[in-house]
Chains A and B, each alone.
Chain A
Amino acid sequence: EPEVTQTPSHQVTQMGQEVILRCVPISNHLYFYWYRQILGQKVEFLVSFYNNEISEKSEIFDDQFSVERPDGSNFTLKIRSTKLEDSAMYFCASWDGGSAGPQHFGDGTRLSIL
């Protein structure tokens, strides 16, 4: 079964540094998403991306965040200047655009900010 893959599985970064999280969505999917889950809390929507542009973003997704699809396969999330509160699991998801279809999630990147 095709799957969404994410790298790295764990990223440790000093506060204030830039970090890039990478995702390879399922190949025929059209919509791409980033979610995050702070330890012990619920999964929260960050951003959706379609047709090479952001289609929706949450309040969490401020100017420190950006997304990009640099080629036909990768989808990245960049955090420009990390803060302690950015420590979380970050999940990438993709959707084929079919009606009422579920999203498929990658196994996540654990981001730890020191």
Chain B
Amino acid sequence: RKEVEQDPGPFNVPEGATVAFNCTYSNSASQSFFWYRQDCRKEPKLLMSVYSSGNEDGRFTAQLNRASQYISLLIRDSKLSDSATYLCVVNIGGGNKLVFGAGTILRVKS
């Protein structure tokens, strides 16, 4: 089983749509969780951390279910600029080693 598993997509959505991405992780000792965004051939950029209580940042909402080892990201009112690959990332261990999912491609079209 992959350490972090994501649906690769692509998700093709119109502007203004709501889209949700899911992610599962295999290591129950994982300590912290993030969504990063990666544009083509660029570095991963932190989108948001994911907390057990769920958290929201503008149009973005992240949820964590530790019992099911499941993380989600909801994007509301999609913009063209949201087009990117969304990386589910899990921290394993005290040294903060990050394990990346393969990413979910989002394409927002006008």
Contacts and interface: CB of A to CB of B under 8 A. Distances in A.
Interface string B9-24: 0000000000000000
Categorize the interface residue count of chain B: 20 to 34
Interface residues of A, number: 26
A107 B87 contact: no
B103 A42 contact: yes
Contact of A95 (B45, B96, B101): B96
A89 B95 CA distance: 23
Interface string A86-113: 0001010101000011111111101000
A105 B44 contact: yes
A33 B6 CA distance: 24
Interface of B: 31-32, 34, 38, 41-46, 49, 87, 91, 93, 95-103
